[in-house]
Structure 1
Amino acid sequence: MAQGKTRDLDGMLVALVGGTGFFGTHLAQELLARGARLRVCSRHPERAFRVKPLGGLGQVQLVAMDVLKPHTVAVALTGVDAVVNLVGAFAGNLDGLQGEGVGRLAQAAKDAGAQAFVHVSALGADGESDVAYARTKAEGEIAVLAAFPSATIVRPSILFGEDDKFLNMFGGLVSSFPLIPVFGPNAKLQPVFVDDAAEAVANALADPQAHGGKTYELAGPEVITMGELNRRIAKAAGRDPVFADLPDAVSGTIASLTGWLPGAPITTDQWKLLVSGNVASGTVPGIEALGVAPRPLGLFLDRWMTRFRKFGRFGVKAKTA
């Protein structure tokens, strides 16, 4: 258990729907540290085995549930005090997973007597977008509030952490290749530390009267470009590859011609989302309104990128007095 955490969720039974991934694991640790009991609901509950040791005896339950199968949802949410929906996807039945289908999940939570519902959407959710991911995220927000008006909507930016698939992907690239093409080098990002986002969600659960019915953008304290991000990662890893900043026309062409191939560097939808940027709009409250002071990427990057240095931690020269 984390030290110094307020046990303001003591005894609360929280269902983490889709809670087996990167964000779900970090959120589970935050909620357990604050005294909550967890029911991790997923099509593959075995993937949450690493969450079990984070809690005390009987504090974590693993339940098989498929949001596309209503009968499994009703059973999984029986007796819960609160629900956090983390389900999201870039392909498949997006309307059922994160669009209108999320409204049915919110209704099931309401019917089960849940007092709080936090829906994790995404920064850039846009009902007018021609990208299905962004459009269904926006439709999901509307469906949730229609079914559960006191729900809290959070829109996180790109989440970063020591065990993410974002920074580590770029770290692996800069340590493996002498030449790195950069798609959308001028695209702006506002990444947020995963533990800060987890604290924000927990704070919303702890005070649903204050935060219910509201929408928040969870973004970090700095806006950086994709080109800058690549170069900062390389510097932290002690690497010096050549970066080839690709013009937007070239990047778009590559995405349209190769995006349908397995393992393609970027798909058409990913390209459209990238160039549209991933920064807070400022039209709704930010993470600070949930009581969190977000920490910058630079606070962690040098330490986390040690694994990608030529000799790891042994390649760091000791400072002399």
Structure 2
Amino acid sequence: MAQALNGKLITVFGGSGFIGRHVIRILAERGYSVRAAVRHPELAEHLQPLGAVGQIMPVAASVRNKKSVERAMEGACAVINLVGILYESGAQKFDSVQAKGPATVAEVCKEQGIDTLVHISAIGADENSPAVYAKTKAAGEKAVLDAMPNAVIFRPSIVFGPEDDFFNRFGGMAQMFPTLPLIGGGHTKFQPVYVGDVALAIANAAENKVEAGKIYELGGPEVATFKECLQLMMKITHRKRFLINLPFPIARMQARFMQMMPKPMLTVDQVNMLKNDNVVSKDAQSDKRTFEGLGIEPHSMEAILPTYLDKFRPHGQYDAKRPAKS
């Protein structure tokens, strides 16, 4: 149940998404009014039960439209930008959403005198990356810090949780197919991070409980390869599937066709991203720009994955006590 409102408003761009709903729940519990700035407010009604009546207000806004950004931020004491895309579709291009969009949000913060800006990027953001996703993430970071040097930037590794697009996707594939692909042999390393831990870090930063002007890298307690992640998923879901090596050239060829679909399962850009490990850097560790430096103990995959992957077991969530099956 939400606490009594504290009279302060926080605007969350991309609030209806995977990370957004967890951030908004925490902010509502702490008594903030939340303006969820989203492209389609009618699709954000699921957020309102997370707070008291009138506490969470979905509003129409796009980071590609400065006027809508200005309206969404009026009266806010802090702004959180969670907007990002995994693939391009229609007017949603990497450059406009992940590079120019953050620049617009930061500029409006500066114009409106809002001192607190929290921006979500990703591990792997790199202006020299062959992946457009990573290039535009890096461009967005630079634009934010140019306009708002005291902004807080978080770079999470792959984020997992009940609505994630990684373990849920491969859990669903394991239900339908006898094999699962190991792109590039499955050697890419990840440091999967629980969405609730990421949301807590974001909420703390919005309350100025985090040292500003820094880029933090967020990874969970375990480093695991792509292959090890799939093996863990199969262990939890009680399914045995053949893991087939899919070399990068073949994966790119398949991705060229898949990315023409409305919601592609794989794109060339994603294949390029998988060529590099997605883990917290040594620099971030030594500078304590990590969960450790934030005073947050991250949850393990083993502690969280069974709470939502049980639906992919042969007999669903009631299969918890059954032995593993093929």
Query: Structure 1: which amino acid aligns with 2:120?
Result: V
Q: Is the 8 A contact 1:193 1:296 kept in 2?
A: yes
Whole-Å separation in 1 of the counterparts to 2:72 and 2:264: 37
Which residue in the other structure is 1:313 paired with? Answer: 317
Query: Structure 2: which amino acid aligns with 1:159?
Result: V
The alpha-carbon distance between structure 1 residues 260 and 202, as it changes in their structure 2 partners (threshold 3 A), is closer
TM alignment of 1:1-321, pairs within 5 A:
1=1, 10-89=6-85, 90-91=87-88, 92-184=92-184, 185-207=186-208, 210-256=210-256, 258-262=257-261, 265-284=265-284, 285-317=289-321
Q: Is the 8 A contact 2:160 2:194 kept in 1?
A: yes
Give, in angstroms, the shift of residue 265 of structure 1. Answer: 4.5
Between 1:93-102 and 1:19-28, the stretch displaced more is 93-102
Whole-Å separation in 2 of the counterparts to 1:183 and 1:214: 33
| Structure 2: tracts of 5 or more residues without a match | none
Give, in angstroms, the shift of residue 291 of structure 1. Answer: 2.0
TM-score (norm 2): 0.89
* 1:46-91 alpha-carbon deviations (Å, 9 max, x no partner): 2211110111122111111121111111111111100000111232
Whole-Å separation in 2 of the counterparts to 1:10 and 1:281: 38
The alpha-carbon distance between structure 1 residues 311 and 188, as it changes in their structure 2 partners (threshold 3 A), is same
Query: Structure 2: which amino acid aligns with 1:69?
Result: N
* 1:136-192 alpha-carbon deviations (Å, 9 max, x no partner): 111111111111111111111111002222211111111222222221311111110
- The sequence identity of aligned pairs, in percent, is 40
| Structure 1: tracts of 5 or more residues without a match | none
SS of corresponding position for 1:310: coil
SS of corresponding position for 1:99: helix
Cα-Cα RMSD: 2.1
* 1:184-235 alpha-carbon deviations (Å, 9 max, x no partner): 3111111100000000111112226x52111100111111111111111111
Whole-Å separation in 1 of the counterparts to 2:59 and 2:306: 38
TM-score (norm 1): 0.91
Runs of 4+ in 1 over 4 A off after TM superposition: none
